[in-house]
Chain A
Amino acid sequence: MEKVVEMQNIRKTFLHTVANNDINFDICKGEVVTLLGENGAGKTTLMKILYGMYSMDSGEIYVKGKKVDIKSPKDAISLGIGMVHQHFTLVKSFTVTENVILGLPPAKGIEIDLESAKKDLISLSKKYGLEVNPDAKIWQLSVGEKQRVEIIKALYRNIDVLIMDEPTAVLTPQEAENLFDTLRLLTKEGKSIVFISHKLGEVMEISDRIVILRNGTLAGEKNKKDTTKKELARIMVGREVLEIIEKEEMSERGEPLLVVQNLHALNDKGIEALKGISFEVRSEEILGIAGVSGNGQRELEDVLCGVRESTDGRIVFKGKEITTKKPKEIINLGIGRVPEDRMEEGLILDLPIFENLIVESYDKKPLSNGILINYSSVKDFAEKMVKEYDIKTPSIYTITRTLSGGNLQKVILARMLSRNPEFIIASQPIRGLDVGAAEYIHTKLLSARANGVGILLISEDLDEILMLSDRILVMYEGEVMGILDRKDVTIDELGLMMTGTRMGGFHEPN
């Protein structure tokens, strides 16, 4: 097949890490080629080099057989290469049309011809199923719509190669399906797609060819029809992966531990983000909270962890009201917390590891006598935790900031589980972690559940929710769309609820 882009021996280092180690990568005409790899494997770096956002240390790039020097995204676009980033690059106060033509020279003289641009835009959006209102302002659009604007923006510039960086991360299952339809139409037209992902399911659905990166090196290349999910996972991680963690079925669920009634709270902008949330979590169960990012999950986590005030409603833990309790009281009641923002909330990165391990229990015996901290028992405790939780660090005195994401999460987990919590609030516990660390975290959560702990799992990763939860609550714009039993749930149903369809017959919010 005709090669549109050839990248040869691409090398890129950041300070001490080699992000791309002599990588060869081709894109053929009319194909969907997936760059598969764990977080930090170098996928995005490689594509940012192609798109002119990073300069490479060494290597060569050929576009349509000609050697090129791509210095900026502008160069890339003029060579027919477009990229849709994970974080969109749109001007919020402009309309869709204005955003699409932004940066292009006006068609006639100095006058901007919005009308003809709009016409082109409508025809593009019809042709590829990218439904969007050209006159809407960006801030009015949903995440899925914004992504469509980004794609239109790229297509409007007549690109041949479209790079999409983890496009489904922000989409509901239905929106992802629509996106895949669009991508198929584009390849039929002879355009090429580079699809960056680490989700095996969608990779198998959309790709023609799969290139796997691991730790910055090329780990393998497979045609879709010659491979399986299992094989891809093995190449990606570098070892055999348990596809699904065994989850013990609990015969019956225990007592209600945490009861939340009609909870209301504001977000940082003062807008109501929780509009009457009610649910309960029993011991020995995991209640998963699913939803597209930004539908009140963060505020729910904050309120339950004691760092955001609720404006109405009640939170009851083991029969006692804890609605207005401070973090310290919540910790001391036996509630363990794994916050979404592990860098800014879960850990004090500039303190050494041993101090992060004790930060929730430094004021209790045997670590303290009330005034002094007993640093020799602290040392023993920290050494034990590092060993028990397999935290990879040169020493307990190492500054926490230097650890990898998986090890940071292990510090949080060790600290929390060492207090034997009866209830755990875990928010996005595996976001950004590699498969091995994610598996470890999940195993620990499931074994806590088997020991009778009740767990509230807040996650935007549907696979994670489906794998771990006993029941699933779907949140949309601060409301509960329904609570379903894991056994009865279908992806379609979840997807509909995540986009705001309330399920009849399910639990209704008050």
Chain B
Amino acid sequence: MSLISFKLEKRIPPPWWFRILMPIMAVIISLAISSIFLLILGKNPFTAFYYLFYGGLGTKFAFLEMLVKATPLILTGIAVSIAFLAKYWNIGAEGQLYAGALLATWVGIQNFNLSPVFYVLLVIVAGFVGGGVWSFIPAYLKARFKVDDVVTTLLFNYIMIYFVSAILEGPWRHPVSLYPESVNIAENAQLIQLVPRSRVHIGFLIAVAVVFVTYFIVKKTKLGFEIRATGSNPKAANFLGINTLKTIIIASVLSGGVAGLAGVSEVAGVHYHLIHNLSPGYGYSGIVIAMLGGLNPFGVLFAALYFSVIITGAQMMSRSVGIPPYIADVIQGITLIVMLAMLLLFEYKISIRRGK
């Protein structure tokens, strides 16, 4: 009897149009799979998806609310994709978001006598530094001691989230309401609104600018080349003279910094104070978005907008069809799995070997 074994072999990269088609196919397949769950719940999937997209895009209010939610998602998606391009598995965007929010809030509640432009810039820098520093620690541990990045970055999320809670329960507890939330940041430190009487703030434009800057760094600079080379094959990159450890650390700091900006967006653009459920998992959604966007900054932009539609529309779908809003999380999870499976199938060829 002969044994059968499977082997994965890298295949020639598919053409560019295929790389665009692939996420679209992933979205369609994942919606198809999600409808099985809706059918189990006895609901018509077409009705459900209608309300899902109507709730995320159908009205002016829905559209603007979608942009509000898209802002942190774009930033965490970019954050994760920078790290993943260097094959540094940063699962810690959630914690880095909180670290950025923490430092940005601290700067924001100092009530500096600064012009809004400078104060906002200072808050942004603080958020970047907060996220960057929090990301530096696991990256240093990885570069210096080969500590597994997936484990440390993931666990660092919990450290930071509970640290923020502790601060909010303790020293920063609101002096009047006694809620575990910080006082509001100074008005001249807040991100101004883009559209009157909506929650859309200038952070959305900043996020889009980050997309362009990231594209420029990745494609045009020495650093971008080093990140891509390290991510493609760290062993070869090291042999060829690229300081891969330094590159991984820089990529991780940039990644954490951008995740920190997502924290800035939520604190200075939406809530104006720090709360401990500031993010409903934007950092984790960033992983799905980065993968669906093919680690390409513009792909990430579109993927973030798509997920923002789903997250925003989930409430409407929930109310109209009578299903829990968690279906949005289910769709996200399925999309990630489908996308990963498709990447595996299209970037590798599976050969079945028969023999001894």
Residues of chain A having any CB pair with chain B under 8 Å: 15, 53, 55, 71-74, 89, 305, 307, 326-328, 330-332, 337, 339, 344-351, 355, 359-360, 362-363, 368, 370-373, 375, 399, 401-402
In the bound complex, do residue B240 and residue A89 qualify as a contact, i.e. CB atoms below 8 Å apart? no
The answer to whether A348 and B236 touch (CB under 8 A), given A360-B241, A363-B222, A373-B222, is yes
Q: Chain B: which residue is nearest A330 at the CB level?
A: B241
In the bound complex, do residue B221 and residue A348 qualify as a contact, i.e. CB atoms below 8 Å apart? no
Alpha-carbon distance between A112 and B233 when the two chains are bound, in angstroms: 49
Supply 9 further A-B pairs (C-beta < 8 A) apart from A371-B221, A371-B223. A326-B241, A328-B241, A345-B240, A350-B13, A351-B228, A355-B228, A355-B229, A373-B222, A401-B12
In the bound complex, do residue B12 and residue A348 qualify as a contact, i.e. CB atoms below 8 Å apart? no
B222: contacting residue among A305, A345, A349, A368, CB under 8 A: A368
Q: Chain B: which residue is nearest A75 at the CB level?
A: B2
Alpha-carbon distance between A402 and B14 when the two chains are bound, in angstroms: 12
Alpha-carbon distance between A348 and B244 when the two chains are bound, in angstroms: 13
Residues of B within 8 A of A373 (CB): 220-222, 225
In the bound complex, do residue B235 and residue A359 qualify as a contact, i.e. CB atoms below 8 Å apart? no
In the bound complex, do residue B239 and residue A327 qualify as a contact, i.e. CB atoms below 8 Å apart? yes
Residues of A within 8 A of B354 (CB): 53, 55, 72
Minimum CB–CB distance from A43 to chain B (whole Å) comes to 18
Minimum CB–CB distance from B128 to chain A (whole Å) comes to 19
Q: Chain A: which residue is nearest B241 at the CB level?
A: A328
The answer to whether A346 and B2 touch (CB under 8 A), given A72-B354, A89-B356, A331-B241, is no
12 A-B pairs with CB atoms under 8 Å apart are A15-B349, A89-B356, A307-B239, A327-B240, A337-B239, A346-B240, A351-B232, A359-B241, A371-B221, A372-B222, A401-B10, A401-B13
The answer to whether A360 and B356 touch (CB under 8 A), given A348-B233, A373-B220, is no
In the bound complex, do residue B241 and residue A74 qualify as a contact, i.e. CB atoms below 8 Å apart? no
Minimum CB–CB distance from A248 to chain B (whole Å) comes to 31
In the bound complex, do residue B2 and residue A372 qualify as a contact, i.e. CB atoms below 8 Å apart? no
Minimum CB–CB distance from B174 to chain A (whole Å) comes to 45
In the bound complex, do residue A348 and residue B240 qualify as a contact, i.e. CB atoms below 8 Å apart? yes
The answer to whether A399 and B13 touch (CB under 8 A), given A351-B232, A373-B222, is yes
Residues of A within 8 A of B241 (CB): 326-328, 330-332, 359-360
Alpha-carbon distance between A72 and B354 when the two chains are bound, in angstroms: 8
Minimum CB–CB distance from A343 to chain B (whole Å) comes to 9
A-B contact count (CB 8 A): 93
Residues of A within 8 A of B239 (CB): 305, 307, 327, 337, 339, 345-346
The 10 closest A-B pairs by CB, nearest first: A328-B241, A345-B239, A72-B2, A327-B241, A350-B232, A348-B232, A53-B355, A359-B240, A348-B233, A348-B236
Minimum CB–CB distance from B170 to chain A (whole Å) comes to 44
Judge if B198 is at the interface, Cβ distance under 8 Å. Answer: no
Which B332-356 residues have C-beta < 8 A from chain A? 349, 354-356
Which B226-258 residues have C-beta < 8 A from chain A? 228-229, 232-233, 235-243
B238: contacting residue among A327, A337, A355, CB under 8 A: A327
Which B65-91 residues have C-beta < 8 A from chain A? none
B225: contacting residue among A349, A355, A401, CB under 8 A: A355
Residues of B within 8 A of A53 (CB): 354-355
A372: contacting residue among B221, B235, B240, B356, CB under 8 A: B221
In the bound complex, do residue A360 and residue B13 qualify as a contact, i.e. CB atoms below 8 Å apart? no
Alpha-carbon distance between A96 and B73 when the two chains are bound, in angstroms: 62
Q: Chain B: which residue is nearest A362 at the CB level?
A: B225
In the bound complex, do residue B243 and residue A328 qualify as a contact, i.e. CB atoms below 8 Å apart? yes
Residues of B within 8 A of A350 (CB): 10, 13, 232-233
Alpha-carbon distance between A402 and B225 when the two chains are bound, in angstroms: 20
In the bound complex, do residue A74 and residue B240 qualify as a contact, i.e. CB atoms below 8 Å apart? no
Report which residue of B238, B240, B354 has the largest number of chain A beta carbons within 10 angstroms of its beta carbon.
B240
Q: Chain A: which residue is nearest B223 at the CB level?
A: A371
Residues of B within 8 A of A15 (CB): 349
In the bound complex, do residue A349 and residue B220 qualify as a contact, i.e. CB atoms below 8 Å apart? no
Alpha-carbon distance between A307 and B237 when the two chains are bound, in angstroms: 11
Alpha-carbon distance between A261 and B108 when the two chains are bound, in angstroms: 62
Minimum CB–CB distance from A37 to chain B (whole Å) comes to 22
Alpha-carbon distance between A305 and B238 when the two chains are bound, in angstroms: 11
Residues of A within 8 A of B356 (CB): 73, 89
A359: contacting residue among B2, B221, B242, B355, CB under 8 A: B242
Report which residue of B2, B10, B221, B241 has the largest number of chain A beta carbons within 10 angstroms of its beta carbon.
B241
Minimum CB–CB distance from A96 to chain B (whole Å) comes to 18
In the bound complex, do residue A348 and residue B222 qualify as a contact, i.e. CB atoms below 8 Å apart? no
Alpha-carbon distance between A350 and B12 when the two chains are bound, in angstroms: 9
Residues of A within 8 A of B12 (CB): 399, 401-402
Alpha-carbon distance between A279 and B10 when the two chains are bound, in angstroms: 41
In the bound complex, do residue B240 and residue A73 qualify as a contact, i.e. CB atoms below 8 Å apart? no
Residues of B within 8 A of A331 (CB): 240-241
Residues of B within 8 A of A330 (CB): 241
Alpha-carbon distance between A372 and B222 when the two chains are bound, in angstroms: 6
Residues of A within 8 A of B13 (CB): 350, 399, 401
In the bound complex, do residue A348 and residue B229 qualify as a contact, i.e. CB atoms below 8 Å apart? yes
Residues of A within 8 A of B349 (CB): 15
Alpha-carbon distance between A144 and B237 when the two chains are bound, in angstroms: 36
Alpha-carbon distance between A359 and B230 when the two chains are bound, in angstroms: 11
Minimum CB–CB distance from A349 to chain B (whole Å) comes to 7
Alpha-carbon distance between A339 and B239 when the two chains are bound, in angstroms: 9
In the bound complex, do residue A351 and residue B229 qualify as a contact, i.e. CB atoms below 8 Å apart? yes
Residues of B within 8 A of A368 (CB): 222
Which B199-226 residues have C-beta < 8 A from chain A? 220-223, 225
Alpha-carbon distance between A372 and B217 when the two chains are bound, in angstroms: 9
Residues of B within 8 A of A372 (CB): 220-222
Minimum CB–CB distance from B67 to chain A (whole Å) comes to 32
Report which residue of B12, B236, B243 has the largest number of chain A beta carbons within 10 angstroms of its beta carbon.
B236
Alpha-carbon distance between A332 and B2 when the two chains are bound, in angstroms: 53
In the bound complex, do residue A307 and residue B238 qualify as a contact, i.e. CB atoms below 8 Å apart? yes
Residues of A within 8 A of B242 (CB): 328, 359
In the bound complex, do residue A74 and residue B2 qualify as a contact, i.e. CB atoms below 8 Å apart? yes
Q: Chain A: which residue is nearest B355 at the CB level?
A: A53
Q: Chain A: which residue is nearest B10 at the CB level?
A: A401
Minimum CB–CB distance from B45 to chain A (whole Å) comes to 38
Alpha-carbon distance between A399 and B356 when the two chains are bound, in angstroms: 34
Residues of A within 8 A of B238 (CB): 307, 327
Minimum CB–CB distance from B294 to chain A (whole Å) comes to 14
Residues of A within 8 A of B222 (CB): 362-363, 368, 370-373
In the bound complex, do residue B229 and residue A359 qualify as a contact, i.e. CB atoms below 8 Å apart? yes
Alpha-carbon distance between A177 and B243 when the two chains are bound, in angstroms: 48
Residues of B within 8 A of A55 (CB): 354
Residues of A within 8 A of B221 (CB): 371-373
Minimum CB–CB distance from A403 to chain B (whole Å) comes to 11
> Contact string, B1-29, partner A, CB cutoff 8 A, digits 1/0?
11000000010110000000000000000
Q: Chain B: which residue is nearest A378 at the CB level?
A: B225
